[in-house]
Amino acid sequence: MAPVCVLVGAPGAGKTTVGELLAAALGVGFRDTDADIEGLAGKPIPDIFIDEGEAHFRDLERAAVAAALVSFDGVLALGGGAVLADETRGLLARHTVVHLSVGLPDAIRRVGLGVGRPLLAINPRATLKYLMDQRRPLYAEVAAHTVETDGRTPEEVAGDVLAALGRPVAGVDGTGGSTT
Ligand SMILES: Nc1ncnc2c1ncn2[C@@H]1O[C@H](COP(=O)(O)OP(=O)(O)O)[C@@H](O)[C@H]1O
Ligand SMILES: O=C(O)C1=C[C@@H](OP(=O)(O)O)[C@@H](O)[C@H](O)C1
Ligand SMILES: [Mg+2]
């Protein structure tokens, strides 16, 4: 069992939002490892960071990603920092990974003050720029496809991902497509 596709990218790239649209268009399930981690920990992500720290969150994240990659066959969205783990990048080499690419201005507009994203709680713009610069090569390393999201609606992005996967589906972005 393996996910139809795995979405990676910076916070605000739209992994969760676009992932749900993609799953609906493909008629498959949607899973987000951030939600899995919250289930494992029994508390929201900001509380994990406060109570146990980022290193513990990353341990939970590695385990959640590894489990989802072997047990789930729908659309899987990862957290923006999942690719930091060597182990995770190694596992992703065997999967269909799509990088949702976003520039700093659009990412900042989308994450706002970083509510619910503990790494962005202080100085979100500078922190996000640092995280994006650090991770850009890692997203490129794991992804077979990169889809640009700047200035695009989630529906348009979902349509572009389906096209990149060679699976255009009518109706996602209102431009048609083929189901045959
Ligand atoms: N292409 C887009 N255009 C405009 N807003 C978007 C787009 N994709 C996502 N958003 C919005 O940005 C915010 C962050 O999206 P989310 O899916 O949580 O990103 P990620 O999971 O990559 O951090 C949400 O409020 C969402 O509605
Ligand atoms: O970039 C990161 O390190 C993180 C991104 C978040 O997910 P999104 O990318 O879905 O916001 C979440 O996993 C956690 O707050 C850490
Ligand atoms: Mg998300």
172 within domain boundaries: no
Q: Distance (Å, rounded) from C-alpha 157 to C-alpha 134?
A: 24
pLDDT for residue 174: 52
Pocket (CB within 6 angstroms of ligand 1) = 9, 11-17, 80, 110, 149, 152-154, 157
How many structural domains is the chain composed of? 1
Does 114 count as an annotated binding residue?
A: no
pLDDT for residue 114: 80
169 within domain boundaries: no
pTM (2 decimals)? 0.96
- 12-30 confidence digits (pLDDT tens): 999 999 999 999 999 999 9
Which atom of ligand 2 is nearest the CA belonging to 16? 10
For residue 74, pLDDT over 90 is answered with yes
> H-helix or E-strand containing 83?
none
Domain that holds residue 41: 5-164
Nearest bound ligand to the CA of residue 80: 2
28 within domain boundaries: yes
171 within domain boundaries: no
ipTM of predicted assembly, 2 dp: 0.99
Query: Is 118 near ligand 2, meaning CB less than 6 Å away?
Result: yes
Q: Tell me if residue 87 falls in helix, strand or coil.
A: helix
Q: Distance (Å, rounded) from C-alpha 74 to C-alpha 61?
A: 18
pLDDT for residue 165: 96
Beta-strand (E) ranges in the chain? 5-8, 30-32, 75-77, 97-101, 145-148
179 within domain boundaries: no
173 within domain boundaries: no
Q: Which residues pair with 148 in a beta bridge?
A: 101
Closest residue by Cα to atom 12, ligand 2, is 79
Q: Output the domain CATH number for residue 157.
A: 3.40.50.300
For residue 67, pLDDT over 70 is answered with yes
Does 13 count as an annotated binding residue?
A: yes
